[in-house]
Structure 1
C-alpha cells in the first residue's frame, strides 16, 4: 500500500491518495465471501477497484464509488479483525473491506478524510500548485500557457509587465486559484482589448490583464480551459459511475 501524493517524483501529476490490495465482501454471484481486489483511492475522493494490480490504467474499473459524504467506519459485526465499512451517500449498498494488518488500516484513515466535503479538504492539486509556484518558470512541466502579460495596478494607475505561467487552474505569478472565476474580453481604459478575471464573489479581487499582442487570444482560451478542469469534476464522477453496467460490479 502507498499513501501520499509523491510530488517530488512527479511534480505535476497527483498520485492516488492510497492504493493497494484489500479483501472485499461480496454477496452476489455463485461464490459468496471475501475477494481480493486492487483498490485505488484517487485525489478526487473516488474509490475504484480492479481484479488485479496490472489492470489499473489498462481498462475500466469494476466499480467506482464516490466517497464524499459517505459513512465510513470500523466494523466488528462480522467477527473478523481489520474490517471497515463504507455506505455511500447515494444508494443503499454497504461495502465491507478487510485489511491484512493493523498497518493497512491506514486505508480507513484515508477514506475518512475522503468523505469530508471538498471545502473541508486540502486538495492535493493545491499541494502540486504550491510546489510548482516555487519552481523557476522553465522548470514547470507542460504549462497550459506562458508568456508576458500586463496587469493593471490600480494603486498606480498603470500597466505592469509580468512573465506569467498558467498551470492546473492557477495563474502562478499572482497565486490566483481560478475556480469559479469568469473570463471575458472587454475594453479597459485606453486598452481596446483586455482580459477580465471576475471572481465568484465580491470578497475577492477582479484582475485585468493585457497580452503583448492585443489580437492574441491564446490566454483567454487557455484560462477558460484551465478553469473547466475544476468545475465538472463531481459531474464527471457521477456520469462515470452511472455508466457502469450492474453485472460488472462484483
Structure 2
C-alpha cells in the first residue's frame, strides 16, 4: 500500500522520475554517432526511449534499458560536453548519453535515485492498513468516520459513489480503493460545479490529488475527521522513528 494507491485497481503509478530529450551514442548499424531520442525514466527502474516526444503513451518504446544495480556517472573520454554513461548490471555494454545542455546532472541524480531508492522503515501501521484493506467494511473496528462519498474519476470525468471508512490515516473506499494519507493536506476546494468538495493533496507532485464530495453538501464532518486522523497518525509515526533512531546500534533490528 503506497501513498495514493488504488489497492484493487492497480497502483497509482507515479509520474516518471525524469523525461526529456537526450542524444544516445549508437554502437551498431551502418551509421554511427549520436541520435536524438525522447527518454522517460520510470520508477520501476527502467529507462525507455522513443523516437519522438509525442510517441510516449501512443507507441511502444523503441527500447527499454533495465537499470537495476547499474553504474551511472559523467564521462570525459569522448571529448564531448554533458556526456554521462550507464553500465547496466544485466547487460554487457555501456550506454553513452549526451544532454542537450548542462542538465546531465539532473539525469545522473534521477538515475541514481531510481537505481538506489531510499528505503523507508516499515512500521506497524502499514501492516495494519494492508490488513484492513482486505476486510469487509463492517469488520474494520472503531472507524473514525464512515459514510458515503463521491470520488471524482478524472479519466471518466464523473463522480462515482463509494462507501468510505476512515481509520488511522487511511481512507478506504469500497470496493477496493485505499488512499494512504501520510503527508496529505486536506482542504475544502471547489471542483467544477460542486462547491463543497474535499481536496486531498499529496506530499509530492509524483502522486495525484484526490477530490471527494459528501452525499449531503452540508455534511462537513469528513474534512475535520480526515485532518484529525492525519494529525494523530503523523506524531505516532514520528515518535516511532525517533525512538528507533536513538536505540543503541546493537539493539536495532
TM-score by length of 2: 0.47
Higher RCO, Cα 8 Å, sep 6+ = 2
State the TM-score, normalizing by the size of structure 1. 0.47
